[in-house]
């Protein structure tokens, strides 16, 4: 979250989730963008709902709802959500 965009996180679990060849960054980045575009609308929609849960955040006394809205509405945040999705998908993959 520190570096935000345009970073795409490459790791073995994400690579497995995207089923790209080992160490082929070009294929990985291309497939990452293709797959992200397929579910981007869903990620954006769900991210917008996160501010509703502001009071349950561990840091709710230092971060206000508007700040949560700003972060969860950001393109870089949506792309990091996709990275986490890939990590979990690749972690459960047997490829």
Instruction: Work out the pLDDT band at 2, boundaries 50, 70, 90.
Output: low
**Domain contains 17:** yes
Measuring CA to CA, how many Å separate 86 from each of 6, 13, 29, 39, 82?
17, 7, 13, 12, 6
Percentage of the chain modeled with pLDDT above 90: 58
Domain count of the fold of the chain: 1
Residue 76 structural domain:
12-91
Summarised one tens digit per residue, pLDDT across range 41-87 is 999 999 988 877 766 665 666 777 788 888 889 999 999 999 999 99
Instruction: Please give the DSSP secondary-structure letter assigned to residue 23.
Output: T
**Domain contains 72:** yes
Report how far residue 95's alpha carbon sits from residue 37's, in angstroms, rounded to the nearest whole number.
Answer: 23
pTM over 0.75? The answer is yes
């Amino acid at each position: 979250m520190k570096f935000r965009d345009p970073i795409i996180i490459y790791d073995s679990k994400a690579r497995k989730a995207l089923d790209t060849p080992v160490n082929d960054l070009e294929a990985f980045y291309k497939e990452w963008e293709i797959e992200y575009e397929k579910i981007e609308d869903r990620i954006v929609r769900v991210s917008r709902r996160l501010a509703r849960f502001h009071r349950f955040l561990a840091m709710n006394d230092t971060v206000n709802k508007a700040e949560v809205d700003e972060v969860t509405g950001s393109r870089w945040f949506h792309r990091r959500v996709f990275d986490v999705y890939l990590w979990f998908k690749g972690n459960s993959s047997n490829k």
